[in-house]
């Protein structure tokens, strides 16, 4: 595990940030929901931690944030969890093979992760309730959500970098 050496305050900051983003996502203001599309803020955190600290932290972030989402939006317990954990592991492994410092690469990874998470989520729902169909939810929910999430990703990733102390104001790694 790459994050074993962090102190208790850093772990508590991570926990507070995950719960805060999950809370904001489940209570997203109606004025910011174009056509009832809500960005997946937890997924942005999963991708951020996959890039910054590795797949283990990303998977824990997906577990905690996904559990909160499942409870808050009354889905079957585990839907968001399994989707976020799989995406966190995949992006964490993929990010070790990419140069991920550019904002466009990060937004692209968020778009890819969000599309994958949306397809996986819709597939799980389809397996449980085939009468709902698959194409319509993908076109009306998963794809717009992926683009909205990718649009917000650079701003939120910059904010997470600042809060977690990973970068200074001009984008250099701390010495």
Sequence ranges of the domains in the chain: 39-161
CB neighbours of 3 closer than 8 A, spacing ≥ 6?
53, 54, 56, 57
pLDDT of residue 166: 66
pTM of the predicted protein model: 0.86
CA–CA dist 114, 134 (Å, integer): 16
Higher local confidence (pLDDT), 75 or 42: 42
More confident residue, 171 or 88: 88
Q: Are 160 and 17 in contact (CB under 8 A)?
A: yes
Q: What are φ and ψ of residue 169, in 5° steps?
A: -65, -30
């Amino acid at each position: 595990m790459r994050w074993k050496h962090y102190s208790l305050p850093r772990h508590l900051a991570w926990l507070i940030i995950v719960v805060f983003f999950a809370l904001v996502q489940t209570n997203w203001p109606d004025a910011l929901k174009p056509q009832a599309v809500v960005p997946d803020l937890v997924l942005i955190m999963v991708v951020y931690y996959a890039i910054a600290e590795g797949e283990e932290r990303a998977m824990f972030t997906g577990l905690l944030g996904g559990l909160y989402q499942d409870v808050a939006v009354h889905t079957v317990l585990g839907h968001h969890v399994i989707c976020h954990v799989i995406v966190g592991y995949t992006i964490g492994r993929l990010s070790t093979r990419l140069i991920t410092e550019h904002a466009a690469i990060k937004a692209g990874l968020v778009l890819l992760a969000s599309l994958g998470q949306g397809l996986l989520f819709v597939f799980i729902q389809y397996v449980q309730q085939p009468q709902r169909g698959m194409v319509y939810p993908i076109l009306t929910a998963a794809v717009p959500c992926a683009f909205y999430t990718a649009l917000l990703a650079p701003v939120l990733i910059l904010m997470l970098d600042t809060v977690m102390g990973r970068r200074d104001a001009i984008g250099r790694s701390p010495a």
